[in-house]
Amino acid sequence: MSRSATAAVASGLEVFLDERAASFEGLRLGLIAHAASVDPGFASAARRIAENGRLTLAALFGPEHGVTGGAQDMIAVHGERDAGGGSALPIHSLYGDSEASLRPTASMLEGIDVLLADLQDVGSRYYTFAATIAMALEEIAPRGGRVVVLDRPNPIGGSRVEGPGLEPAMRSFVGYIEAPVRHGLTMGELLTAHARRLGIESALQVVPMRGWRRSMDFEETGLPWIAPSPNMPAIETAVVYPGGCLIEATNLSEGRGTTRPFEWIGAPWLDGERLRAELEKDALPGVAFRPIAFVPQFQKWAGRTCRGVALHVTDRASFLPVRTGVALLAAARRLAPREFAWRSEPYEFVSDRPAIDLLTGSASVREGIEAGAALRDITASWDAAERAWSDARRDLLLYS
């Protein structure tokens, strides 16, 4: 039996091809896609669309990491060839050497009537694919074009929200759409929120999935997990990412260069057993910490033995990834205040604000950690913000 026959969920790509393709006849289509833009049989979205006799696919657009998904984080992408479509379509990079490169240019959009967007998100505000689609929407809308989002599951579920909001002064590529860190929306729902704020909802169309429920673990969908970026190899990675990404804003290794990015956290100057004991004081739900030693093969501390902890999520339903990430930062700084440091290099084209502030959406988390505040005090304002977002997002929800 084929995988598509057993899958509980049909992605927006499948619904588009099965039910909507006829209405796009005669239009020139662009496709924003990456390695995870596949059907249940692992055929790429580009190939499926190009092979449909009713559709005219004119160009591909690659987000961060590229259409093929091979580029590491914050590495400019140029001169790609489509690895899955088997075509000679032009490929335009939406992640280059400057902030301006994040938006499609007028020449890229010349002759494009509709931009299809089929990107697997991971449910966190930092993940840059939603920003890429949002910027494309902002560019094509004034030209009379449309963006059509082919929706996919939020792999960490659509019921829970967590984390601080985004202050306007901290808006960046890793904080572009106003939402908590864990927003609890699908890509289509999140883009709808952005389009409504800008008054360009008429330029956005969402092709919903069939069969997805907000409470689903990704494994329940029956869809294949394809790494949407090089350091997102498994569902377990996505589960911890809303907190694990915060480690990027420090001189701690977030496990890049290992087989467990965002699940292994450490540095040469940390003591894993002491870090575990310190974290257990916070009584964080749904997670256990195991002392570990690892050697990253690239990026921070490459070739050096790092000591720290491995995160083991014991209960996804109660796990609080963002609070856990903040607890990790605070504990590491308490244990090694001289060695611990915030990232000072430019981060996603921003050099005038600390990376940690861009990720958390304000200076308050950093200031609380620096002041030695307890975790409950650092996150005290989150409860009200999470409730407010849960209420505000109700009219965005496309799925039960």
282 and 375 assigned to the same domain: yes
Query: Of 226, 257, 276, which marks where a domain is finished?
Result: 226
Q: Is residue 240 part of a domain?
A: yes
- Tell me, what's the pLDDT at 88? 75
288 and 339 assigned to the same domain: yes
209 and 276 assigned to the same domain: no
List the beta bridge partners of residue 115. 30, 147
Angle between helix 129-140 and helix 187-198 axes, rounded to 10 deg: 40
211 and 348 assigned to the same domain: no
What is the domain count for the chain?
A: 2
Asked if residues 325 and 310 have their Cβ atoms less than 8 Å apart, the reply is: no
137 and 255 assigned to the same domain: no
Q: Is residue 73 part of a domain?
A: yes
193 and 255 assigned to the same domain: no
Q: Is residue 259 part of a domain?
A: yes
Query: Of 226, 258, 283, which marks where a domain is finished?
Result: 226
- Tell me, what's the pLDDT at 89? 87
Asked if residues 307 and 272 have their Cβ atoms less than 8 Å apart, the reply is: yes
125 and 245 assigned to the same domain: no
Asked if residues 30 and 62 have their Cβ atoms less than 8 Å apart, the reply is: no
Neighbour-count burial of 161, counting CB atoms closer than 10 A to its CB (0-12 exposed, 13-18 middle, 19+ buried): buried
Residue 249 structure tokens: 């804003």
- Tell me, what's the pLDDT at 74? 52
User: In this structure, what CATH number is given to the domain that contains residue 156?
Assistant: 3.40.50.12170
Tens of pLDDT along the chain (400 residues)? 334 456 899 999 999 999 999 999 999 999 999 999 999 999 999 999 999 989 999 999 999 978 885 545 555 445 555 544 445 789 999 998 899 999 999 999 999 999 999 999 999 999 999 999 999 999 999 999 999 999 999 999 999 999 999 999 999 999 999 999 999 999 999 999 999 999 999 999 999 999 999 999 999 999 999 999 999 999 999 999 999 999 999 999 999 999 999 999 999 999 999 999 999 999 999 999 999 999 999 999 999 999 999 999 999 999 999 999 999 999 999 999 999 999 999 999 999 999 999 999 999 999 999 999 999 999 999 999 999 999 999 999 999 8
Q: Is residue 158 part of a domain?
A: yes
Q: Is residue 208 part of a domain?
A: yes
- Tell me, what's the pLDDT at 84? 46
263 and 156 assigned to the same domain: no
Reduced to 3 states, what is the DSSP secondary structure of residue 177? Answer: coil
- Tell me, what's the pLDDT at 3? 43
146 and 292 assigned to the same domain: no
If phi > 0 it is left, if psi is from -120 to 50 it is alpha, else beta; for residue 74 that is left
pTM of the model: 0.94
Q: Is residue 221 part of a domain?
A: yes
Asked if residues 166 and 175 have their Cβ atoms less than 8 Å apart, the reply is: yes
133 and 41 assigned to the same domain: yes
The residue among 42, 388, 398 whose CA lies nearest residue 187 is 398
Residues 167 and 144: their CA atoms lie apart, in Å, by 31
Query: Which residues, at least 6 apart from 262, have a Cβ–Cβ distance to it below 8 Å?
Result: 231, 237, 240, 241, 244, 245, 247, 254, 255
* Angle at alpha carbon of residue 127, lines to 400 and 369, rounded to 5°: 105
- Tell me, what's the pLDDT at 78? 59
Residues 289 and 381: their CA atoms lie apart, in Å, by 26
Q: Between β-strands 91-93 and 114-118, what pairing exists: parallel, antiparallel or unpaired?
A: unpaired
Question: Running DSSP on this structure, what letter comes out for residue 195?
Answer: H
The secondary structure of 208-233, three-state, reads CCECCCCCCCHHHHCCCCCCCCCCCC
Q: Is residue 179 part of a domain?
A: yes
User: In this structure, what CATH number is given to the domain that contains residue 340?
Assistant: 3.90.1150.140
**Read out DSSP for 245-309?**
GGGGGBSSB-STTSSSTTTEEEETT--HHHHHHHHHTT--TTEEEEEEEE--SSSTTTTS-EEEE
* Phi/psi at 162 (5° precision): -160, 145
43 and 143 assigned to the same domain: yes
User: 358 lies in which domain range?
Assistant: 235-381
Query: Of 226, 251, 280, which marks where a domain is finished?
Result: 226
Q: For residue range 8-52, list pLDDT tens digits in order.
A: 999 999 999 999 999 999 999 999 999 999 999 999 999 999 999
Q: Is residue 109 part of a domain?
A: yes
70 and 215 assigned to the same domain: yes
Residue 11 structure tokens: 């992605």
Residues 278 and 270: their CA atoms lie apart, in Å, by 12
